[in-house]
C-alpha cells in the first residue's frame, strides 16, 4: 500500500523524546495530528509548543492501557493466558485516522523486574493493533517504533562479522528475563520488552492474514541510540530521557558509566 500523502495521524505517547519530533515533522508536512498522553499535566507543554497548528493538532488522554497484569512467564504460553490490553483504550481515536505511529512504551533502565517493561510494551502494542483492526476504517498504515534491541545478540566470535537482518530476534535477553527475573540486567529487560512487542505485532498480522487481512500495512522501524535536540518538556539535564541523558553525561560532563558500558555487551 502506498504511503498516505495527507490525512490525520494518531501518535501515541506524543510527549516522548522521539514522538514530539514526529509530531512536528507531520505538522510541518501538512498532516493533522492527534496525540495521546497519559495525563493532563503532560499535555500543557505540547499544546503550547504546537499552538500555531491550531485545529490540526489535538491531544487526548489515554491514561491506562493495562487491564490485567499477567506474569511474564505466561507470555506466549496460550491465547487464554496472553496479556490483555485495556478494552477500547484506543477505539475512539483510531476511527478517522489515515495512519498510526505507535511510540508509547517504557524507555528506561530503572525497572525492578521484567514485567515492569514487558507488560506495558506488549499490551500497548496489541491494544493499538486491536483497536485499529476493529475500528480503523480509514486506516492505511500502522507504524510501530521498534528498536535495534529486537535483533541484538552477543558476538561470541569477535573475529567474525555478525550479520543481522529481519530474520533475527533477540532471544538471548528474552531468555535471560525468563530465567533470571529480577536478576536480569535492566538493559535486558528493556530489550526483551521491545523484542516481544514487535514479535507480537507481526504475529498479530499473521493471525488475521488468513481472515482477509486487516486492510492496512504494518511497518516497524528499528532505530538505535537516538540523540539530538529536545522538543519535549525538560527543565534540567537530570530530567533528560535515557539516551539523551547518557549522551549528556558522557559527552558534556565526561562521566563514563562503567555499568552501562558493561550492560551494552
Active site residues: 194
Q: Which three cell numbers stand for residue 38?
A: 497519559
Residue partners of 172: CB distance under 8 A and separation at least 6: 152, 153, 154
Q: Helices (H) and strands (E) in the chain — how many of each?
A: 7, 6
Cβ-contact 88, 59 below 8 angstroms: no
> Rounded to whole angstroms, how far apart are CA atoms 34 and 31?
10
Residue partners of 67: CB distance under 8 A and separation at least 6: 84, 85, 86, 87, 123
Distances (CA, A) of 23 to 12, 59, 70, 135, 160: 10, 11, 32, 22, 41
3-state secondary structure of 213: coil
Classify residue 251 by its DSSP letter.
I
Cα 203–Cα 208–Cα 214 angle in degrees, nearest 5:
110
Cβ-contact 198, 150 below 8 angstroms: yes
Amino acid at each position: 500500500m502506498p504511503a498516505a500523502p495527507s490525512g490525520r495521524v494518531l501518535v501515541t505517547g506524543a510527549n516522548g523524546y522521539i514522538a514530539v519530533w514526529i509530531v512536528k515533522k507531520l505538522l510541518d508536512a501538512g498532516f493533522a495530528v492527534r496525540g495521546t498522553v497519559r495525563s493532563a499535566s503532560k499535555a500543557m507543554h505540547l499544546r503550547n509548543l504546537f499552538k500555531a497548528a491550531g485545529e490540526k493538532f489535538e491531544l487526548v488522554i489515554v491514561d491506562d492501557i493495562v487491564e490485567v497484569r499477567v506474569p511474564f512467564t505466561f507470555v506466549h504460553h496460550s491465547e487464554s493466558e496472553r496479556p490483555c490490553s485495556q478494552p477500547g483504550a484506543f477505539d475512539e481515536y483510531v476511527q478517522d485516522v489515515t495512519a498510526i505511529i505507535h511510540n508509547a512504551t517504557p524507555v528506561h533502565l530503572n525497572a525492578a523486574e521484567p514485567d515492569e517493561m514487558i507488560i506495558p510494551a506488549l499490551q500497548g502494542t496489541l491494544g493499538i493493533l486491536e483497536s485499529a483492526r476493529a475500528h480503523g476504517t480509514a486506516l492505511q498504515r500502522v507504524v510501530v517504533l521498534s528498536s535495534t534491541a529486537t535483533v541484538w545478540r552477543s558476538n561470541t566470535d569477535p573475529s567474525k562479522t555478525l550479520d543481522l537482518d529481519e530474520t533475527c530476534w533477540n532471544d538471548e535477553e528474552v531468555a535471560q528475563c525468563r530465567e533470571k527475573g529480577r536478576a536480569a540486567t535492566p538493559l535486558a529487560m528493556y530489550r526483551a520488552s521491545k523484542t516481544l512487542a514487535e514479535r507480537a505485532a507481526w504475529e498479530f498480522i499473521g493471525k488475521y492474514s488468513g481472515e482477509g487481512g486487516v486492510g492496512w500495512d504494518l511497518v516497524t522501524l528499528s532505530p538505535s541510540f537516538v540523540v539530538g535536540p529536545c522538543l519535549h518538556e525538560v527543565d534540567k539535564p537530570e530530567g533528560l530521557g535515557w539516551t539523551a541523558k547518557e549522551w549528556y553525561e558522557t559527552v558534556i560532563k565526561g562521566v563514563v558509566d562503567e555499568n552501562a558500558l558493561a550492560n551494552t555487551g
